[in-house]
Amino acid sequence: VLGGYTGAGSLDTILAGPPSHLRAVGRLPQPTHDAAAAAVGGKVYLFGGGESVSMPSVVRVDPRTGAAAEAPALGEPLSDLGAVAIGGQAYLVGGYTGTQFASAILRYHLRGAAATVGRLPTGTRYAGVAALGPTIYVAGGLTTAGATSAVYAVPLDGTVRRVATLPAPEDHAALASLGGMLYLVGGRAASESALERA
């Protein structure tokens, strides 16, 4: 568990262990929330996030020791994004730049820089993002028009295809793959999303 938000502010803690016995093992270089993490090459990378503004930072964490260090930053600030790891690469989906909703699907190079591999039909924050095989799935999220019920599949060539519709618009939910299935967990109703846009 890397950072987070308590209602009183962002956290810099790194927690590890079984869900019922999490313990502090380290600290991030700075407090952050609304970031996204992916495990790549034996390390965990924390992308973007921020405290009062979106940040371009990337933090590399050694899960064995809890040691954290800055990695090469993104090309622009980004928070409220999703991240997955496929084939030893990290892919970042959507988010917020501090001025606009992001639509890009980025491949992050561990030595620095990020390349755009595709774009969602509209800028999207707080989407559920997971990988199933070599395909990225994006479920729901918050757009400038409100919460969406769209589910997209994005293979690594960057083509974006709508493959399903959620029972209702949803954002702030987590998407996870398990046993060849995708599960969308938690989230907020469309009426709550409208309050955030206001």
Per-residue pLDDT in tens (0 to 9) along the chain, 198 residues? 999 999 889 999 999 999 999 999 999 999 999 999 999 999 999 999 998 899 999 999 999 999 999 999 999 999 999 999 999 999 999 999 999 999 999 999 988 789 999 999 999 999 999 999 999 999 999 999 999 999 999 999 999 999 999 999 999 999 999 999 999 999 986 545 444 443
The secondary structure of residue 194, as a DSSP letter, is: H
Q: Nearest Cα to 108, choosing from 60, 147, 62?
A: 60
In angstroms, the CA 197 to CA 17 distance is 36
Could you tell me if 175 and 184 are in contact, meaning their C-beta atoms sit under 8 angstroms apart?
Answer: yes
pTM for the full predicted model: 0.92
Place of tokens 């700075």: 30
> What tokens were used for 65?
């020791």
